[in-house]
Each structure stands twice: as structure tokens, then as C-alpha cells.
Amino acid sequence: MNPPLPSGSNPKRIGFISTRFHGTDGVTLEARKWAQILEGMGHSCYWMAGLLDAPPERSYAAPLAFFNHPEIAAVQSQLFGVAFRSRAVTNEIQALKERLKDELYHFIRKFNLEVLIPENILAIPMHVPLGLAMTEVIAETTIPVIAHHHDFAWERERFTLNGVNDYLAAAFPPAFFGMDHVVINSMAQKELARRLGIPSHIIPNIVEFEVKPPGIDTYNADLRTEIGLREDDWFILQPTRVVARKGIEHAIDLVRRLNDPRAKLVISHPAGDEGSAYLAMLQDRIADARIDVRFIADRVGETRGVTPDGRKIYTLFDVYPHADLVTYPSLYEGFGNAFLEAIYFGKPVVVNTYAVYARDIDPLGFKIIEMNQLLTREVVEQTREVLQDPALRSDWAGTNYALGLKYFSYTVARRKLSSRLANLFGEGA
């Protein structure tokens, strides 16, 4: 259980703001975890977004805040991949910004908010008018802000050429005195300081290691059968969206080189919002490799349920207990939710040593199969050894779980969030 607020502390009314709080994207998941922790401390949390899946009595839906709203998508399409913008585009951005400011003020007044937590909208310019609106509302009010930054514009190549550098400098993120900035890794912290002179604090992504993971039960016991796997198959799970930065071609090549009919790759998530070219390339790779790959996104949802044709829908936490190995060959990650989830469920992981992993996670001592951009013979043989040795998998699982509890648990985040609130309101807040 979460500890109550310290004696003399005052519960706060906290508003989370983003383009969406819906589904299983990293921003939504981490925001929900923060809210769970804050509510356990006695605070009240409220939600504003364009796409929402939150209790109606604590939510404020503002459709224009969604990055895929037609008006927003239309203007965003004219901002990146170009070197300038027209006056008409500027006027459209400003008009949208004003409408969004009205929505933000309505949200603040409706729930009498005392703290705002903008989730990534002041970091990555997926919705430029919303970032500008949020920045101006912060400038115009005295409401304390903890800005939670997951991805910055300079971390994504597609934002490099743009016609809105003035807006990026002003609002992604803004540099206000007294505004608290939180990032999820040390590289982001260093770059934010180097580029903009803005100090920040690190709160990494987390999993509730304090609670033992769910296992196989009467509902999910048939999952292997339902997706066509035998009990003696090697269930190799790729628990990510199908987007290019996830490096799924390495997982395909790993299964090919294992050269064992028991090795089956299972991809749990659908393609992302970055087009279909990458999926088509993977399908060609699979055909060339002649391996068994199961795409099960149509059977995995946020909650258990039933498909239109009457088949079970499982959650990702129903899938993990069945896996024998998790592949996480990402080329880039802001942190690595799937890595933490694999550790939480006691599964061995093959990790491509992306920069944040190398700097923030690897030094902590996790027992992992590591590849450094190249799928070497040693990586393949180590994977084969782990798959064939249950005792080794068990030993790794115990070590890794203890490290997860120490460094990436709710207890860690609770302590850090308490410090952020104390920084804004004083120790007695």
C-alpha cells in the first residue's frame, strides 16, 4: 500500500494534460502510474486530452487537443519537412492556439486545479498549437507545473527540417522560473541543460515491482493454443509496436539463426502511425527467412474481452507469463517500458544496446543478452543456451527482479514525486 501524506501535508488537485490518455502508448502508461502513486499519497488527479479513457467525473475531453484531429493534422502537415511557413499557416496556428487556451482554462477552472502536469506536450512537437497554448497558460497563471518530458524534438529526425523553429524555441520546452522539469533518462537531462540551460530531474519509467506479477490463470491458460503454439514451442515475444525504430528485423534474424522448429516469434502490437512500409519490409524478411511469426495484435487489448467473431481478447499481462524469451532489439528508446515489463515477469531479454540502455540501465548489473547493433554468433548461442536452461533463466529472473525493485519501482517514483511537490510548495506541502 502507498503511505499516506506526511502529517501537515495538504492534498493537491492535480491536472494531467496531453494529446491523448488512451491505449497503451508509453506516455499514457506512465501518466497513469504517476496518478496511481499521487492518489495513493492522498492527492486528487484529473485528466484533459483530445482522446480520453479516464473516469468521466475527473475528465475534460477537448477533441482539438488530439494530434490526429483533422484541423491539427492539416496544419501539422505544413510544419515539418519544409524550411518556412506561410503567413496563412501562422494565422491558423495562432487561431488554434487561442481555442486550445480556452479549453485549458476551462479544465483548470472546472476542477479548481492547483498543479498541472503537461505530459510530453512541451517536449515533442506532435501538436504545436497545444504546446504554444500550454506555454502561454503557464505564463499567464501562477499554477505550479511539473512538466513530464518523454521525447524531445531533437531526438527525432523527422523534426529536424521545419518551419517553426521560433515556436520550438519558445515552447518545446519553455524556460520559466520556478517550473519543474522531469525527464526519463540522463541523456535527456544533459541535452536539455546543454541546449537550453534548463535544469531537470530524472524520474525513470517504472513498474510496480512491489506487487508480484500476475501469472497463468483460468482465463489466459489457453493463450498458447489460441495463437497456434504447442507447449514445447519456444515462445519468443516481441512486445512492441511495429515501427522502424523497434529493430524487429533483428528478432526475425535471431529466430532464423536459431534454426530450430520450436522457435516461434510472436509480435503483440500493431503497426504504429508511421506508415506501412516497415511492416511490408518485415513481411518480406519473414518470407525470405522461412520462419514462423505470429502477429497477434487483434487478440491483445487493454482489457480482457471478446472479438467481434467471439474469440478471446487477452491483455499484454496475459501474454508475458507464457513467453520463454523477450526480444527488444530497438535502435532507439526514450527509456524502455518493454524491458522493465520483461524483467517484472522474470523473462530473459535480448536487448540491442540503445544509447539510453547503455548509459542508464546497463551499469546497474542486469543479467541480459546484449547485442551491439550486430547479431553475432555469440548472441545467438547465448540465446540458445538460455532457452534450453530453465535453471539459468530462474537465476537471472531473481537477480533482475531485485534490481528492478531497487531502481525502477513505485517506491522510487513516490520518493522522487514527493521531492518535486516539495520543491514547488515547500516541505510542508
Q: Quick check: 428 pLDDT over 60? A: no
Give 390's pLDDT tier (boundaries 50, 70, 90): very high
Pairwise CA distance, residues 129 & 171, whole Å: 10
Q: Quick check: 2 pLDDT over 70? A: no
Amino acid in the structure at residue 399: T
Neighbouring CB atoms inside 10 A of 187's CB total 17
Residue 8, φ and ψ in degrees, nearest 5: 90, -5
As a whole-number percent, the residues of the chain with pLDDT over 90 amount to: 90
As a whole-number percent, the residues of the chain with pLDDT over 70 amount to: 96
Q: Quick check: 8 pLDDT over 50? A: no
What's the average model confidence in pLDDT over 86-93? 98
Q: Quick check: 170 pLDDT over 90? A: yes
What does the block give as the cell for 43? 492527492
Q: Distances in Å between the alpha carbon of 364 and those of 164, 221, 357, 358, 399?
A: 40, 34, 10, 10, 11
- Residue 5's pLDDT is what? 45
Pairwise CA distance, residues 345 & 15, whole Å: 32
Q: Quick check: 110 pLDDT over 90? A: yes
pLDDT digits (tens, 9 = 90+) for 391-422: 999 999 999 999 999 999 999 999 999 999 99
- Residue 194's pLDDT is what? 97
What's the average model confidence in pLDDT over 152-167? 95
Largest CA-CA distance found in the chain, in angstroms, rounded: 66
What's the average model confidence in pLDDT over 24-51? 95
Whole-prediction pTM: 0.91
- Residue 1's pLDDT is what? 45
**Domains of the chain, with CATH numbers?**
13-206+410-425 (3.40.50.2000), 223-407 (3.40.50.2000)
Amino acid in the structure at residue 357: Y
- Residue 272's pLDDT is what? 66
Report, in angstroms and rounded to the nearest whole number, the Rg of the chain calculated over CA atoms. 22
Give 112's pLDDT tier (boundaries 50, 70, 90): very high
pLDDT digits (tens, 9 = 90+) for 319-363: 999 999 999 999 989 898 999 999 999 999 999 999 999 999 999
Pairwise CA distance, residues 349 & 404, whole Å: 14
What's the average model confidence in pLDDT over 74-86? 97
Q: Quick check: 224 pLDDT over 90? A: yes
Mind spelling out the 3-state secondary structure of the chain?
Answer: CCCCCCCCCCCCEEEEECCEECCCCHHHHHHHHHHHHHHHCCCEEEEEECEECCCHHHEEECHHHCCCCHHHHHHHCCCECCCCCCHHHHHHHHHHHHHHHHHHHHHHHHCCCCEEEEECCCCCCCCHHHHHHHHHHHHHCCCCEEEEECCCHHHCHHHCCECCHHHHHHHCCCCCCCCEEEECCHHHHHHHHHHHCCCCEECCCCCCCCCCCCCCCCCCCCHHHHCCCCCCCEEEEECCCECHHHCHHHHHHHHHHHCCCCEEEEECCCECCCCCHHHHHHHHHHHHHCCEEEECHHHEECCCEECCCCCEEEEHHHHHHHCCEEEECCCCCCCCHHHHHHHHCCCCEEEECCHHHHHHHHHHCCCCEEECCCCCHHHHHHHHHHHHCHHHHHHHHHHHHHHHHHHCCHHHHHHHHHHHHHHHHCCCC
- Residue 381's pLDDT is what? 98
Give 179's pLDDT tier (boundaries 50, 70, 90): very high
What's the average model confidence in pLDDT over 170-175? 97
- Residue 9's pLDDT is what? 61
Give 25's pLDDT tier (boundaries 50, 70, 90): confident
Pairwise CA distance, residues 29 & 332, whole Å: 19
- Residue 273's pLDDT is what? 61
Give 237's pLDDT tier (boundaries 50, 70, 90): very high
Q: Which is higher by pLDDT, 271 or 305?
A: 305
- Residue 177's pLDDT is what? 86
What's the average model confidence in pLDDT over 52-66? 96
Mean of pLDDT over the chain: 94
What's the average model confidence in pLDDT over 68-85? 97
Burial of 44-57, coded b for 16+ CB within 10 Å and e otherwise, reads bbbbbbbbbebeee
- Residue 270's pLDDT is what? 87
